[in-house]
Amino acid sequence: MNPVIVGFIGVGILLLLLFLRMPIAFSMAFVGFLGLAYLNSLRAAYYTLAVDILEIFSSYPLSVVPMFVLMGTFAFAGGMGSRLYKAAYIWVGQLGGGLVMATVLASAGFSAICGSSPAAAATMGKIALPEMKKYHYDDTISTGAVAAAGTLGILIPPSTVLIIYGILVEESIGKLFAAGILPGVLLTLLFVVTVSILCRRNPSIAPSGPRTSWKEKVGSLTLVIETLFLFLFVVGGLLVGWFSPTQAGGIGAGGALVIGLVRREFSWKKFILSCEDGLRMSCMIFLLVAGGTIFGHFMAVTTIPFKLVDWVMGFQLPPAMIVALIALMFVFGGFFMDSMAMLMLLVPIFLPILDHLQLNLVWFGVLVVLFVETGTITPPVGVNVFVVKGIALDVPLETIFKGIFPFFAAIIMLIILLIIFPGITTFLPSLVAF
Amino acid sequence: MLRTLEKMNHYISAWFERIGIIALLLILGLTCVDVIAAKLFRVPIHGAIDIVTLSQVVAIAFTIAAAQIAGRHIQVELFVSRLSEASQVTIDSFIYFLQLILFAVIAWRTYVLGRALQMAEEVSATLFVPLYPFVFAITLGCVPVCIIFLLKFINSVIKVLKR
């Protein structure tokens, strides 16, 4: 049978297995293995399966993943998120919608030490939602803001999605991290402006919190100094070339652990639980990468990605239109799949097209993060929404999704801005040493 | 009997994960010490990359079962959860069977690869550590995963047959 037809049948079986609830990593490995066995030989498929798994598990570039994941889990267990929220609350809580703004700002701060979107949403949800409830904030804006602000976790460095993207397209992780900074700051501002507009239109949805003095404001800076220092040391060290990505992650995880110990936030149990959490998350990512690699080898044998280039180029569409179509695929896929799974599935397929168009892969990486971000907050499987629902049990899912809509519009606005002004993304990477 | 086997398997998986945590902390500690030694004293640790990559194999392989038990592997929940319970159980039994086959093949083929590396006396690049024990670690890590899927498959089939 023609390899291209086999490839399409493989994609069909993959989608069927995904819809039948087989974990995405295992589905990709299984279909990839079967496809290679059919197109090459069973012997070759056995070999590829074992060697791919060994190579992924022992990959030094991938060792950055457990380090940055561990940094996030230690920061979470060490109470850094709650201290960031306290500081933001003291600074902006007294404004109309101030507690929502505090949530957005604290999420941005927490994202600077944690690279996971659901982790950022969970951290802020546990701290901010009870506070906003206390001050009679409308559930729509409070839950929507927490879920949406969590998306900053994978945009502001360190970001697990940018790390895996960097490994897939062989781009410098330092440059990708640098590229995420300005869009991350811009998205934070867009979220704050969104809150401000919503509160002006209807001040009753988010009343002001208690007033705070300047003494309290200045004093609260001690709560964020450690986070700022850790971010500057780790991400700054990576950007100027002091550390390799793995070293930066290791220093970050070590630093977060030391801060937690000094603050007396860690018990033995908490330490073990955060190690377990970090290791399980890393294991999930490694298996996803291994499954994606095996599936990618199958796709390469079918020649579909290369045929796709010829097919797409045959339409003679402008590059912006092709990027828009790829974006639509990501956003549509994000309705059904997790961000990391989307990345593993779609990036290898579209990479030859991106290469052919000679697009800046760092710029496109940030766009990809924004595309998959939308998936984490849109129905039916927006993971951040379910995280928030798990905390705010009395709030219906529809309310959270309704609350997300204005923030979703802010993300779309940022995507448009980054397409019109690519310099927002590419300026900082151009200054990075390597 | 199935329940006892499941308990034993969870116990083994938990111990495997503890070994994984030790390997992870070794990576963390070594990376930090390596950075400090290299930046402050200009003496990087010899073979740090070998130790990191080989420890990583142990950390990840020994955590697959615990991550599976904790439900950490991402799946699409959208469609099957809307079907009747009978259909769900039937589909689940089929999917558990496929996953059992997949992990049995991975265990078998990593064992074969490990034997091949042992025969060829393959070693790591810097410290010349034999590679085959780490490939066998993947095989070993897959065993409790196979048992998880086998037990889930048997339980699903029993449920289907009882209906």
Instruction: List the end-to-end C-alpha distance of chain B, in Å, as a whole number.
Output: 21
Say if residues A100 and A363 touch (Cβ distance below 8 Å).
no
Return the residue of A nearest to B79 by Cα.
A19
Q: Give yes or no for a contact between A287 and A59, defined as CB atoms under 8 angstroms apart.
A: no
Identity of the residue in A30, A243, A381 whose CB atom sits nearest the CB atom of B98: A30
Give me the residue from A17, A60, A283 closest to B60, CB to CB.
Answer: A283
What's the confidence (pLDDT) of residue B78?
A: 66
Verify whether the Cβ–Cβ distance A20 to B91 is below 8 Å: yes
For residue A391, what pLDDT is reported?
A: 84
Q: What are A41's strand-pairing partners?
A: none
pLDDT tens string A41-62: 999 999 999 999 999 999 998 9
Residues 6+ apart with CB under 8 A from A47: B109, B113
Tokens at A325, concatenated: 């179509």
- Length, in residues, of chain B: 163
Q: What is the pLDDT of residues A263-294, one digit of tens each?
A: 888 889 999 999 999 999 999 989 989 998 99
Residue A24 near residue A288 (C-beta atoms within 8 A): yes
Provide, as residue numbers in chain A, all residues whose Cβ is less than 8 Å from the Cβ of B105: 33, 46, 49
CA A282 – CA A225 distance, rounded (Å): 28
Instruction: Identify the pLDDT of residue A320.
Output: 83
- Collect the ranges in chain B with pLDDT lower than 70: 77-78
Write down the ipTM of this complex.
0.95
Per-residue pLDDT reduced to its tens digit, A172-222: 888 999 999 999 999 999 999 999 999 989 888 888 877 888 998 898 888
How many of the other CB atoms lie within 10 Å of CB of A431? 10
What does the radius of gyration of chain B's CA atoms come to, in whole angstroms?
20
Q: Do A22 and B106 touch (CB under 8 A)?
A: no
CA distances from A223 to A199, A228, A256 (A): 28, 10, 14
Please give the structure tokens belonging to residue A223. 């709560």
Q: What is the DSSP letter of B44?
A: P
Q: Is the preceding omega at residue A158 within 30 degrees of 0, hence cis? A: yes
- Candidate from B21, B34, B76 with C-beta closest to A279: B21
Q: Report d(CA B159, CA B84) in Å as an integer.
A: 14
Alpha-carbon distance A237 to A250, whole Å? 12
pTM above 0.90, yes or no: no
Does the distance separating the beta carbons of B61 and A54 come in below 8 Å? no
Which residue ranges of chain A lie beneath pLDDT 50? none
Closest CA in chain B for residue A55: B57
* CA proximity to A331, closest of A363, A369, A375, A365: A375
Q: How far apart are CA A142 and CA A128, in angstroms?
A: 8
Which chain B positions have a beta carbon within 8 Å of A249's beta carbon?
Answer: 31
In Å, what is the CA distance from B84 to each residue of B35, B60, B90, B156?
Answer: 56, 36, 10, 14
pLDDT of residue A95: 85
- Determine the distance in angstroms separating the CA of A291 from the nearest CA of chain B, rounded to an integer: 11
Q: How far is residue A297's CA from residue A299's CA, in Å, rounded to a whole number?
A: 5
Q: What is the predicted pLDDT for the residue at A125?
A: 86
Gap between the Cα atoms of A135 and A129, Å rounded: 10
Contact A233, A243 (CB under 8 A): no
- Residue by residue, DSSP assigns B109-124 as HHHHHHHHHHHTT-B-
